[in-house]
């Protein structure tokens, strides 16, 4: 299974009967397409090495997705407003929201870690005055054209960060204080959440309106579990998380598109509630976490939810041999494919410690063994 830098999609993707758009729409509707849809996400180090493998320029992300046979593309309305938060020495400061990060290097690369938490001790007055972007500061004029340019693919609005209540509040408040806010109904913490969620909702609404029907699904997110179990109670979920997610699901439904939610860790405890809310698909699906194995998910929720993910970025792709990667991917496909409703994807962004040959084998396996009939 060595393509020697050639396109995996061309080498192994012959005989396809559907467009990428049709394929993903079918899977999200829990129907059986011609093959499993494929998606991709990666950290900078492995992304760069994959581009080198396929002989691509460092900035040629589209050609890399074509080489891997990826069926999904994202669009958005770019922010065109002013920088709202000044830079700080030895930190990266997000221009729109003021989140601060510092770079942490490790032996295979590095990552930007959240730090400082400028609203950790803030009261309602400080939170109310914290600069945040206006929905008017996003440029919606190119959304329809972007959708048309990607019309062969399944186009999504949003990302795992859209509608994410806990992480986005924790980035400014710190995670411990965020949990205290949810438990105690702290007015400052809840105001921070409400301000951001209202802005995100309005940007998503205007983006959908500008897309002229060119968007196929909405992608939102909320990390709901540790590796062992729920990270919050069902009561807290229903009180503080569910209303924001229901509003996004209802918005997407008004445009006739499904919603997929990114849920890290042991998250299946919330899936029955999401089914009742109208959620179409669940993403990430870390197989190591409690009640998140492909077999458990397929047995418990198959036919009621579509699935996106399951290929662990901490498993054989990162730590195994090529043969182990192929075996793991084939096993996952064998479990998740029957009846349709599965999109093949890594659980998170592929990590920089993943050998290039393992990632290539992962996508080759999806194309070779992910076909129906």
Q: Which fold has domain 8-82+120-369?
A: TIM Barrel (3.20.20)
How many angstroms separate the CA atoms of 318 and 68, rounded? 18
Does the pLDDT at position 211 exceed 80?
yes
Average pLDDT over residues 244-255: 98
pLDDT at 5: 58
> What is the average pLDDT score of the chain?
96
pLDDT at 2: 42
pLDDT in tens, 1-57: 444 456 898 778 777 899 999 999 999 999 999 999 999 999 999 999 999 999 999
What are the two backbone dihedrals, phi and then psi, of residue 138, each rounded to the nearest 5 degrees? -105, 145
pLDDT in tens, 160-185: 999 999 999 999 999 999 999 999 99
Average pLDDT over residues 221-225: 97
Does the pLDDT at position 312 exceed 50?
yes
pLDDT at 188: 98
How large a percentage of the chain has pLDDT more than 70? 98
Strand order in the sheet with 109-114: 92-93, 100-106, 109-114
Would you list the domain boundaries of the chain? 8-82+120-369
Average pLDDT over residues 282-287: 97
Average pLDDT over residues 93-110: 94
Residue keyed to tokens 């309005």: 202
What are the two backbone dihedrals, phi and then psi, of residue 129, each rounded to the nearest 5 degrees? -90, -10
How many angstroms separate the CA atoms of 193 and 170, rounded? 10
pLDDT at 341: 98
How many angstroms separate the CA atoms of 244 and 259, rounded? 13
How many angstroms separate the CA atoms of 307 and 290, rounded? 17
pLDDT at 50: 98
Encoded tokens for 120: 């950790």
Strand (E) or helix (H) holding 250: helix 242-254
Does the pLDDT at position 358 exceed 60?
yes
Average pLDDT over residues 322-339: 98
Encoded tokens for 334: 């064998």
Encoded tokens for 204: 């998503």
pLDDT at 232: 98
pLDDT in tens, 119-148: 999 999 999 999 999 999 999 999 999 999
Whether the Cβ atoms of residue 166 and residue 230 lie closer than 8 Å to each other: no
How many angstroms separate the CA atoms of 267 and 199, rounded? 26
pLDDT at 1: 42
Cα atoms in the 13 Å half-sphere on the side-chain side of 348: 16
pLDDT in tens, 46-80: 999 999 999 999 999 999 999 999 999 999 999 99
């Amino acid at each position: 299974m060595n393509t020697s830098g050639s396109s995996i999609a061309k080498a192994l993707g012959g005989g396809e009967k559907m467009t990428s758009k049709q394929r993903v729409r079918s899977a999200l509707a829990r129907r059986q397409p011609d093959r499993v849809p494929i998606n991709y996400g990666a950290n900078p180090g492995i992304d760069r090495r994959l581009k080198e493998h396929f002989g691509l320029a460092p900035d040629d992300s589209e050609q890399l997705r074509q080489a891997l046979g990826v069926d999904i593309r994202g669009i958005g309305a770019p922010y065109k407003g002013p920088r709202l938060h000044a830079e700080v020495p030895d930190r990266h400061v997000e221009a729109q929201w003021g989140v601060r990060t510092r770079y942490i290097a490790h032996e295979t690369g590095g990552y930007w870690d959240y730090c400082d938490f400028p609203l950790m001790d803030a009261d309602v007055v400080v939170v109310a005055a914290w600069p945040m972007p206006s929905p008017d500061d996003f440029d919606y004029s190119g959304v329809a054209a972007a959708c048309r340019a990607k019309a062969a693919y399944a186009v999504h609005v949003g990302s795992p960060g859209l509608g994410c209540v806990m992480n986005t509040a924790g980035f400014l408040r710190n995670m411990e204080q965020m949990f205290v806010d949810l438990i105690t109904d702290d007015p400052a913490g809840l105001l921070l959440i409400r301000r951001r969620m209202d802005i995100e909702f309005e940007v998503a609404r205007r983006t959908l309106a500008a897309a002229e029907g060119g968007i196929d699904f909405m992608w939102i997110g909320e990390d709901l579990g540790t590796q062992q179990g729920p990270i919050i109670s069902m009561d807290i979920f229903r009180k503080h998380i569910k209303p924001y997610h229901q509003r996004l699901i209802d918005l997407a439904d008004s445009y006739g598109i499904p919603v997929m939610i990114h849920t890290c860790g042991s998250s299946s405890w919330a899936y029955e509630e999401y089914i009742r809310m109208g959620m179409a698909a669940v993403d990430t699906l870390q197989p190591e976490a409690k009640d998140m194995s492909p077999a458990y998910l397929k047995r418990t929720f198959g036919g009621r939810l579509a699935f996106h993910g399951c290929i662990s970025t901490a498993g054989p792709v990162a730590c195994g041999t090529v043969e182990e990667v192929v075996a793991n991917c084939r096993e996952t496909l064998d479990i998740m494919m029957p009846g349709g409703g599965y999109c093949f994807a890594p659980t998170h962004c592929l990590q920089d410690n993943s050998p290039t040959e393992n990632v290539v084998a992962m996508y080759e396996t999806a194309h070779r063994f992910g076909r129906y009939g």
